[in-house]
Amino acid sequence: MTGTSSSVSATILSKIFRPLFPTAASTSTNPSVPPPGNSGGAAFSPITSAGKKADIVHFILDGALVPKTVASVFTFFDIARTHPAYRRSVASSPLRAAVRTWMRHRAVRRADVVVTTSETAKRDIAAGLQIDPSRIAVAPIAPARIFTPGTSDPTVLDRCGVGRRPYLLFVGQFGRQKNEDALLEALRGVPETCLVLVGDPGDLADATKKRCADEALAGRVFFAGRVTDDDLCSLYRGATALCLPSHYEGYGLPAVEAMACGTPVVVSDGGALPEIVGAAGIVAPLSNRHALRDALLAVTRDAAIRERLRAAGLERAREFGHDAMAERHREIYRHALAR
């Protein structure tokens, strides 16, 4: 789950939607209309050509033109691309990023119904793109069914180098607004604990890579690279805690996955993260430069805190179920067809 943001999100949604809506992404019986989860380029050509036969088409992240007689639903996760931290991270290719952002925003404005994953994202999309909030529906993503409590596979931990040492876990696409530097800085004040980073190391800024190798962190930071869901589940299960220090998140699926595995969660107050974890995680305000370090010290040193977070996280994760997500999308499709 660590490729480009579009392919990552599309892959996640494809895995979730296919068992829930096996017939298609539309109410059409046309077998050429693929289910939600396809993203960009040629993947949309069947939808475009089949659009006249479909009653409704659901796009994920990247859209296509459909006849006015076809109802359109567009899943748009957040406006993170407008965040200053994101803009700084794509400074080397600002035109490409700007064009893609403009295309997605245009698709949002054209859709009959926009689907997003949190009330925070809904509010920010409505305000940022000047869209009537009544056109935006919230449908949180359920974690894949593989993410459950259990024991970690030691071979997975050996492969990424951390072995049997205690570790914190970060999962996501490096750079952009993910704020890895703050996590690395906080780790300096958390002794005898390692950090496993799941994602493509090639996406890290050179300065961040150097920070990983400095004296205080040498031998404590490990790169797992891109991993399968099986390996990711094992990494969640073995972690002392998941940490997401993002400047902004419209949802925060790794937090939901971690809670479903019974792993304590530490997040920033960026975007929807406090909304998603609720009282089941520790929230470290971005405005307090010591808050993240203090939260990590608490969760690594206090077994009672970890057990409380584990129990609360499992309960919270049950609120993000597949049945609820499926029914919510059925409601959205009915609403789109009635517009």
Who wins on pLDDT, 201 or 140? 140
Who wins on pLDDT, 209 or 305? 305
What's residue 286's pLDDT?
95
- Helix %, strand %, coil % of the chain (to 5): 50, 15, 40
CB 235, CB 169: distance < 8 Å: yes
Within this chain, domains 5-142+321-338 and 154-317 share the same CATH topology:
yes
14-67 per-position pLDDT tens digit: 444 554 444 434 333 332 333 333 333 333 334 444 445 778 888 887 767 677
What's residue 35's pLDDT?
37
Q: Is the pLDDT of residue 212 over 60?
A: yes
Mean pLDDT of the chain: 82
**Residue 215 CA: distances (Å) to CA of 44, 185, 212:** 49, 12, 9
Spatial separation of the C-alpha atoms in residues 118 and 99, rounded to whole Å:
25
**Residue 13 CA: distances (Å) to CA of 35, 270, 326, 335:** 10, 23, 12, 21
**Residue 211 CA: distances (Å) to CA of 109, 181, 196, 259:** 41, 8, 14, 29
220-263 per-position pLDDT tens digit: 999 999 999 999 999 999 999 999 999 999 999 999 999 999 99
Tokens of 46: 């069947």
Most confident region among 9-23, 57-71, 186-200 by mean pLDDT: 186-200
Paired with 138 in beta bridges are: 116
CB 225, CB 201: distance < 8 Å: yes
Check: CATH 3.40.50.2000 for 154-317? yes
Against a cut of 0.85, is the pTM above it? no
Model confidence at 85, pLDDT cuts 50, 70, 90, reads low
Spatial separation of the C-alpha atoms in residues 189 and 183, rounded to whole Å:
10
Q: Which residues contact 106 (CB under 8 A, 6 or more apart)?
A: none
265-290 per-position pLDDT tens digit: 999 999 999 999 999 999 999 999 89
The H-or-E segment that residue 197 falls in is strand 194-198
Check: CATH 3.30.1330.40 for 5-142+321-338? no
87-143 per-position pLDDT tens digit: 555 545 667 767 777 788 888 888 889 999 999 999 999 998 899 999 999 999 999
Spatial separation of the C-alpha atoms in residues 220 and 326, rounded to whole Å:
41
What's residue 269's pLDDT?
96
Helix axes 303-317, 291-301, angle to 10 degrees: 100
Pairing of strands 265-268, 241-244: parallel
Domain ranges (residues) in the chain: 5-142+321-338, 154-317
CB 45, CB 21: distance < 8 Å: no
